[in-house]
Amino acid sequence: MRIKPIRTLAATITATLLLTGCSGPWNDPNPPADPEVQTYFGSFTTRPKHLDPVRSYSAEEGLFLDQIYEPPLQYHFLKRPYELEPATATSLPEVTLLNDQLEPAAEGEEVAFSRVTIHLKPGTQYQPHPAFAQNSEGKPLYLFDSASESTQYTLLSDFPQTASRTLTADDFIYQIKRMGDPINKSPLIGLMSDYIVGMRDFSKMVKEARDGDKWLDLREFEMEGLEKVDNLTFNIRIKGTYPQFKYWLAMRFFAPIPWEADRFYHNPGFKDKNLTLDWNPIGTGPFMMTTNSPNREIILEKNPNYRKDVYPSEGSAGDEERGYLADAGKQLPFIDKAIFRHEKAATSMWSKFTQGYYDRSGDGDSNINTATFDQAFTVGPDGLELTPELESRNIIVDEEIRPSIFYTGFNMRDPVVGGYTEDKRKLRQAISIVYNDQEYIDIFRNGIGQLAHGPIPPGLYGYKGGKEGMNTYIFDWDETTKSPKRKSVEYAAKLLAEAGYPNGRNAKTGEPLILYMDTTASDASPRSDWIKKQLAKINIQLEFRVTDYPRFKEKMRAGNTQMFGWGWLADYPDPENFLFLLDSRQGLVKCQCDGSNSTNYDNPEFDNLYDQVKTLPNGPERLAAIEQMVEIVQRDSPWIWGFNRKDYYLANNWVKNTKRHGISQGTLKYVRLDQEARAHQQVAWNSPNVLPLFGATGLLLAIVLPGISFYRRRQKLTIKAEE
Amino acid sequence: MFAYIVRRLLYAVPILIGVNLLTFILFFIVNTPEDMARAHLGDKYVTEEAVQNWIADKGYDGPMFFNNEAPGVEKLTDTVFYDKSVKLFAFDFGQSDDGRDISSDIVDRMGPSLALAIPSFLIGVWVNICVALMVLMFRGSRLDKTTVAVFVGLMSISYLFYIIVGQYFIAKVSKLVPVSGFNDGLDGWRFLILPVVISVLAGIGSGARLYRTLFIEVSGQDFSRTARAKGVSETGVLFHHILPNAMLPILTGIVVVIPMLFMGSLVMESFFSIPGLGSYMLDSIRAQDFSIVRAMVFLGSVLYITGLILTDISYTWADPRVRLS
Expressed in angstroms, the distance from the first to the final Cα of chain A is 49
If asked whether residues B298 and B245 sit together in one domain, one would say: yes
Within a domain: residue B290? yes
B64, B80 in Cβ contact below 8 A? Answer: yes
Q: Please name the residue of chain B whose CA is at the shortest distance from the CA of residue A278.
A: B99
Task: Determine which helix (DSSP H) or strand (DSSP E) holds A208, and give its type and residue range.
Answer: helix A199-209
Nearest Cα to A22, choosing from B119, B193, B111, B276?
Answer: B193
**What is residue B61's predicted lDDT score, i.e. its pLDDT?**
86
Contact between A132 and A171 (Cβ < 8 Å): no
**A178 φ, ψ (degrees, to nearest 5):** -60, -35
Contact B35 A191 (CB under 8 A): no
Residues of chain B contacting residue A711, judged by C-beta atoms under 8 Å apart: 137, 234
- Whether B23 is covered by a domain: the verdict is yes
Pair B319, B176 in one domain: yes
The answer to whether the CB atoms of A345 and B273 lie below 8 A apart is yes
Contact between B180 and A295 using a beta-carbon 8 Å cutoff: no
Q: For residue A147, count other CB atoms closer than 10 A to its CB.
A: 14
Is the Cβ pair A191, B177 closer than 8 Å? Answer: no
Q: Quote the domain boundaries for residue B126.
A: 109-324
- Residues sharing a CB contact under 8 Å with residue A656, sequence separation 6 or more, in sequence order: A323, A326, A327, A671, A672, A673, A674
- Distance (Å) from the alpha carbon of A674 to chain B's nearest alpha carbon: 23
The answer on B216 and B271 residing in a single domain is: yes
C-alpha distances in Å from residue A406, one per residue of A47, A431, B157? 25, 16, 39
pLDDT of residue A723: 44
Residue B96 lies in a domain: no
Q: In 3D, which of B230, B174, B224, B227 has the Cα closest to residue B197? A: B174
Cα–Cα distance for residue pair B128/B202, rounded to 1 Å: 11
Nearest to A360 by CA among A58, A49, A82, A45: A45
- B180 CB neighbours in chain A (<8 A) are 29, 343, 345, 348, 352
Q: In Å, what is the CA distance from A455 to each residue of A409, A411, A601, A620, B14? A: 12, 16, 13, 19, 58
Residues from chain B that touch A25, judged by Cβ atoms under 8 A, are: 175
Instruction: List CB contacts (< 8 A) between A565 and chain B.
Output: none
Contact between A96 and A79 (Cβ < 8 Å): no
Cβ-Cβ contacts under 8 Å, B108 against chain A = 293, 295
pLDDT band at B30 (very low <50, low <70, confident <90, very high): confident
Of the partner residues B35, B50, B175, the one whose CB lies closest to the CB of residue A686? B175
A526: number of Cβ within 10 Å: 10
Contact A126, A219 (CB under 8 A): no
Q: Which B residues, 184 through 213, put their C-beta within 8 Å of a C-beta on chain A? A: 186-187, 189-191
Judged by a CB distance cut-off of 8 A, whether residue A686 touches chain B is yes
Q: How far is B32 from chain A (nearest CA, A)?
A: 9
The shortest CB-CB distance from A27 to any of B45, B53, B175 is to B175
pLDDT in tens, B289-306: 888 998 999 999 999 999
Of A187, A278, A715, which has the smallest distance from its Cβ to B42's Cβ? A187
CATH number of B190's domain: 1.10.3720.10
Residues of B in contact with A357 (CB under 8 A): 178
User: CB-based contact (8 Å) between B39 and chain A?
Assistant: yes
Contact residues, chain B, for A348 at CB < 8 Å: 167, 179-180, 271-273
* B104 found inside a domain: no
Give the minimum alpha-carbon distance from A307 to chain B in angstroms, rounded to a whole number.
32
Chosen from B143, B190, B200, B228 to mutate, greatest number of chain A CBs within 10 A: B190
A351 to chain B, any CB pair closer than 8 A? The answer is: yes
Q: Would you state the pLDDT for residue A595?
A: 74
Chain centroid to Cα A31, Å, comes to 28
CA A513 – CA A492 distance, rounded (Å): 15
Burial class of residue A118, CB neighbours in 10 A (0-12, 13-18, 19+): buried
Nearest to B187 among A20, A57, A596 (CB): A20
Distance CA A365, CA A62 (A): 10
B169 & B275 share domain: yes
Question: What's the pTM?
Answer: 0.88
Long-range Cβ pairs for the range A239-243 (8 Å, 24+): A239/A112, A239/A113, A239/A194, A239/A195, A239/A196, A239/A197, A240/A111, A240/A112, A240/A113, A240/A114, A240/A615, A241/A97, A241/A111, A241/A114, A241/A615, A242/A114, A242/A195, A242/A614, A242/A615, A243/A95, A243/A614, A243/A615, A243/A616, A243/A617
Neighboring chain A residues of B54 at a CB cutoff of 8 Å: 185
Domain boundary among B90, B120, B146: B90
**A633 close to A382: Cβ distance less than 8 angstroms:** no
Residue B317: helix, strand or coil by DSSP?
helix
**How many whole angstroms from its chain centre is CA B37?**
30
Residues B70 and B34 in one domain: yes
Q: Does one domain contain both B300 and B243?
A: yes
pLDDT score at A17:
52
Set of chain B residues whose Cβ sits within 8 Å of the Cβ of A550 = 31-32, 35, 38-39
Residue A76 exposed, middle or buried by CB count within 10 Å (0-12, 13-18, 19+): middle
Q: Is B183 on the interface with A (CB under 8 A)?
A: yes
The predicted structure's pLDDT at residue A320:
94
CA B237/CA B239 separation, integer angstroms: 6
**Euclidean distance between CA atoms A224 and A202, whole angstroms:** 8
Q: How far does the CA of residue A210 sit from the closest CA of chain B (Å)?
A: 13
B-chain CB neighbours of A556 within 8 Å are none
Closest CA to A114 of A230, A245, A256, A247: A245
In angstroms, rounded to a whole number, what is the distance separating the alpha carbons of residues A212 and B277? 31
Helix (H, G, I), strand (E, B) or coil at A45: coil
CB pairs under 8 A between A and B: 172
The ipTM, to two decimals, is: 0.84
* Pair (B86, B113) in one structural domain: no
Task: Tell me: do B279 and B150 sit in the same domain.
Answer: yes
Q: What is the DSSP letter of A134?
A: B
B286 touches chain A (CB under 8 A): no
Q: Is the CB of A191 less than 8 angstroms away from the CB of B45?
A: yes
- Is residue B272 within 8 Å of B220, Cβ to Cβ? no
- The answer to whether position B97 is within a domain reads no
Examine residue B266 and state whether it is found in any structural domain, yes or no. yes
pLDDT less than 50: residues of chain A: 1, 19-21, 721-723
- CA B90 from centre of chain: 22
pLDDT of B203-255, one tens digit each?
A: 999 999 999 999 998 888 899 889 988 888 888 888 889 988 888 888 888 88
- The rounded distance, in Å, linking the Cα atoms of A154 and B205 is 45
pLDDT in tens, B36-93: 888 777 777 777 888 888 888 888 888 888 888 888 888 888 888 888 888 888 888 8
What was the pLDDT predicted at B292? 92
Cα B115 to Cα B117: distance, rounded to the nearest angstrom = 6
Co-location of B244 and B312 in the same domain: yes
Whole-angstrom CA distances from A718 to A429, A444, A713, A721, B234 are 91, 71, 10, 5, 14
Contact residues for A366 (Cβ-Cβ < 8 A; gap 6+): A645, A647, A648, A649
State whether B83 and B113 are in the same domain.
Answer: no
Does residue B70 sit in the same domain as residue B134?
Answer: no
Contact A622/B at CB under 8 A: no
Do A570 and A578 meet the contact criterion of CB atoms below 8 Å apart? yes
| Tally of domains in chain B | 2
Q: Which residues of B touch A188 (CB under 8 A)?
A: 45
Indicate the SS3 state at residue B172: helix
Chain B residue numbers with beta carbons less than 8 Å from the beta carbon of A691 are 174
Q: Do B57 and A183 touch (CB under 8 A)?
A: yes
- Claim to verify: residue B269 and residue B191 sit in the same structural domain: yes
| Alpha-helix residue ranges (DSSP H) falling in B138-273 | 142-156, 159-166, 189-219, 222-229, 234-237, 243-245, 247-254, 266-271
What is the pLDDT at residue A4? Answer: 58
